[in-house]
Amino acid sequence: MPPLKILFVSPEVEPFVKVGGLADMVGSLPKALAALGHDVRIILPAYGSLRLDSHWHARPDPLGVDVGTSAHWARTWETVLPGTKVPVYALEHEGLFGRPEVYAGPWGNHPDNDLRFAFLCRGALNLCLQIDWIPDVVHAHDWTTGLLPLLLNTTLRHTPLGRTASVFTIHNLEHQGYCDRRVLDFAHIPPGEFRPDSTESGGAVNMLKAGLYHATKLTTVSPTYAEEIKTPAGGWGLDSVLRFRAADLIGILNGIDPAAWNPAMDKNLPRPYDQRSVTPGKAAAKLSLQRRLGLDEDAHIALFGIVSRFASQKGLDLVAEAMPHILDRMHVQFALLGAGDPGLEQTFRWAAEAFPGRVGVHVGYDNSLSHLIQAGSDFFLMPSRAEPCGLTQMYAMRYGTPPLVRSTGGLIDTVDQYVEGATPAVGTGFRFQDATAPALYNTVGWACATYYDRPAELHAMRLRGMDRDFSWNLSAKRYEELYGWAVAARRSQT
């Protein structure tokens, strides 16, 4: 395939700003695409929290952004994705992005998120025109960039960007960016686009829906999730739109960044390890984790780790409900890292007080601790109600920590069910079906029994997980193929 010009526009990019797995994907897929020979570039907002250190330099010309009724200007900063030549541009605008947070401040979602992200979309396209770099494909991500495909189809149709194809990836259908129709005027989108087969939902603008209707091709982050979102149960009100666009929608499993998540090279671990040294390596990490979270130092207790946003989507209320019963009847410890729902944060703090030495909790965001939990736990708990792809279960397997997951979305596509005593031996983790505390309880019991009664099978399971290839090798090629289809489809329309 001839090299393509591919522009990623995203509100989060690892290692610059991260809220969840979207950042990991946008920080790693471009590396894999660049390695395949494509000219990939990334644009994100310069939030107040972005550290514009000496690796960044300001571009000399201010960027005019065609939004609102008066002139809007941005300062553009430029750097590269660390360890690559992939250019990264950050748009600075004090009024819209000067705040430190991405989506929400202490009082909840920023009320001007519609305008902030409309500015990102239009600013990204204006920057392409300014630097005279016309992408073959714009790859947009989630509701914040839903207006991009719409802008390409309408306002910018008769500019040099009119032939640019768009690919829109759904990382999480739950968040749709409902907002007032003022955003259409602000972004200079024709008012006629306020209709149900474009942007309108229930009298408001739905930014995600705009992306779903207007992108040349759609993807989501796992094959199973691609099926689930076409059903009323998993479609969050947009299943009919997704069925309408089914021919253009595919699920491509996210890869992980094997350099950032490699137990053999991980500076966060006391003793990095590979398959041959997994037992001593994990034992050292377990001890260090127990010390760090104030757990009893015990090499022979089954330790369950969690690294997650505290949200009901992640099924952590099931953990909260089952935890006292598990601790009552099973010889286990829990190590939790996360933040989000204040009720869950408080519940887990109480659990740590009620079960000292057996429950360790860190409320907050801590990348280094997240690596230590992946390595030091015996099992990784992820009972998600819905999971578009999920990355942490893949990190866990790479670190020799069998995940215990609910059978949903990307968890089905990545975690193979362990079958006790099977020949040949199979499975990289434990899956359960019902989103209930008893189902979770039983599966924790199953994992515990494996830990205490079948250590050789557990060891073999660890090695099978570590052997799995979760890199971008396969998925980047699938995206490359999809971009080719998108470009061909777009050119045939213009």
* CA 178 distance to own-chain centroid: 21
User: Interface with ligand ADP includes 338 (CB under 6 A)?
Assistant: yes
Omega cis (within 30) before 424: yes
Closer by beta carbon to ligand ADP, 273 or else 395:
395
Q: How far is the CB of 306 from ligand ADP (least distance, A)?
A: 9
Which residues have CB under 8 Å from 74's CB, separation 6+? 62, 63, 65, 91, 92, 93, 119, 123
Closer by beta carbon to ligand ADP, 36 or else 339:
339
Site for ligand ADP in 387-406 (CB under 6 A): 389-392
The token pair at 297 is 């130092």
Give the x/- contact pattern for ligand ADP in 156-195, rule: CB under 6 A: ----------------------------------------
Q: How far is the CB of 19 from ligand ADP (least distance, A)?
A: 7
User: Interface with ligand ADP includes 337 (CB under 6 A)?
Assistant: yes
Report how many residues bind ligand ADP under the rule CB under 6 A.
Answer: 17
Of 228-236, 242-250, 297-305, 361-369, the segment contacting ligand ADP by CB under 6 A is 361-369
Strand partners, 303: 333
Q: How far is the CB of 462 from ligand ADP (least distance, A)?
A: 19
Through-space distance between the first and last CA atoms of the chain, rounded to whole angstroms: 21
User: Interface with ligand ADP includes 113 (CB under 6 A)?
Assistant: no
Of 49-57, 159-167, 242-250, 301-309, the segment contacting ligand ADP by CB under 6 A is 301-309
Closer by beta carbon to ligand ADP, 251 or else 390:
390
Instruction: Give the H/E segment covering residue 223.
Output: helix 223-228
Residues 83 and 77: their CA atoms lie apart, in Å, by 18
User: Interface with ligand ADP includes 339 (CB under 6 A)?
Assistant: yes
Q: How far is the CB of 24 from ligand ADP (least distance, A)?
A: 5
Collapsing DSSP to helix, strand or coil, 38 comes out as: coil
Nearest to 50 by CA among 113, 101, 95: 101
Taking CB under 6 A as the criterion, the residue among 307, 318, 396, 440 binding ligand ADP is 307
Taking CB under 6 A as the criterion, the residue among 185, 341, 366, 457 binding ligand ADP is 366
Closer by beta carbon to ligand ADP, 121 or else 337:
337
Residues 460 and 426: their CA atoms lie apart, in Å, by 9
Q: How far is the CB of 224 from ligand ADP (least distance, A)?
A: 14
Amino acid at 107: W
User: Interface with ligand ADP includes 21 (CB under 6 A)?
Assistant: yes
Residues 26 and 139: their CA atoms lie apart, in Å, by 10
Helices and strands in the chain: count of H runs, count of E runs: 17, 21
Taking CB under 6 A as the criterion, the residue among 365, 422, 488, 491 binding ligand ADP is 365
Sort 171 into a burial class: Cβ within 10 Å, 0-12 / 13-18 / 19+.
buried
Instruction: Determine contact, residues 395/374, Cβ cutoff 8 Å.
Output: yes
Sort 101 into a burial class: Cβ within 10 Å, 0-12 / 13-18 / 19+.
middle
CB atoms inside a 10 Å sphere around CB 72: 20
Q: How far is the CB of 335 from ligand ADP (least distance, A)?
A: 12
User: Interface with ligand ADP includes 308 (CB under 6 A)?
Assistant: yes
Give the x/- contact pattern for ligand ADP in 256-295, rule: CB under 6 A: ----------------------------------------
- By the criterion CB under 6 A, which residues form the site for ligand ADP? 20-21, 24, 307-309, 337-339, 365-367, 370, 389-392
